[in-house]
Amino acid sequence: MHFKYGKFRDEVQRAEEPAIMAQNFARLDAKPGTHPGGLESGAWWGLAGEDEELHLSMIPFFADVFENTPSVLSQVYGGGTPDMWYPTMVMTIEFKRKLPQRGMPGYSGQTLGVYSKGSFLEYGRHDMYGEIWSAPSNISQSDGRDPADDSWKKDMRKGDRASKAKL
């Protein structure tokens, strides 16, 4: 886990969403104009402690750990360029819904889906758009559905939207 997470890395778990990163690689060979452009990333973030529960006050932390555009660019085009830290200068969060309560069927009270998209990078400055979604289960745990069945997606809720400027 990246050094920027400091002591938080002992308190959280992270699992990257490979399908979103695969879309970035697919764009490498795509003709211009056949996709919307930009770079995307997605990950599942969860609390490491078994008895811990997500609270609304934790959303700014998860909104600020979106994979930044230069890091995604490095993974897609850079072939392992070292990660760098880009401090957040401005962040706006729109709270759309409450978090699902712990024990609510079909939702995790400890895990969130985090999605981000960035479309430009100029001298290190970049803006990002992000979404925070509810998760069907905790990281590395099944929710009882067939893994090939994507119907769980229709039940998830977008709880928050964030935008930020980084330098």
User: Would you state the pLDDT for residue 73?
Assistant: 81
Check the CA dihedral 93-21-77-81 and report its sign. Answer: positive
Half-sphere exposure of 115 (CA within 13 A, CB side): 13
Q: Tens place of pLDDT for every residue, the chain, 167 residues?
A: 555 566 787 889 998 888 888 988 888 888 888 888 888 999 999 999 888 998 889 988 888 888 888 888 888 887 766 667 778 888 899 888 888 777 788 788 898 989 899 887 787 788 888 888 888 888 877 766 666 666 666 667 777 778 877 76
Q: Domain ranges in the chain?
A: 13-140+155-166
User: Would you state the pLDDT for residue 146?
Assistant: 66
d(CA 108, CA 62): 15
Which string of DSSP letters, residue by residue, matches 23-73? HHHHHHSSPTTSS--SEEEEEEEEESSTT----GGGHHHHHHTSPPHHHHH
13-140+155-166: what CATH class?
A: mainly beta
Which of 77, 71, 82, 160 shows the shortest CA–CA distance to 124?
A: 71
User: Would you state the pLDDT for residue 46?
Assistant: 92
Chain position carrying tokens 């712990």: 102
User: Would you state the pLDDT for residue 81?
Assistant: 66
**Cβ(158)–Cβ(131) below 8 Å:** yes
pTM recorded for the entire structure:
0.81
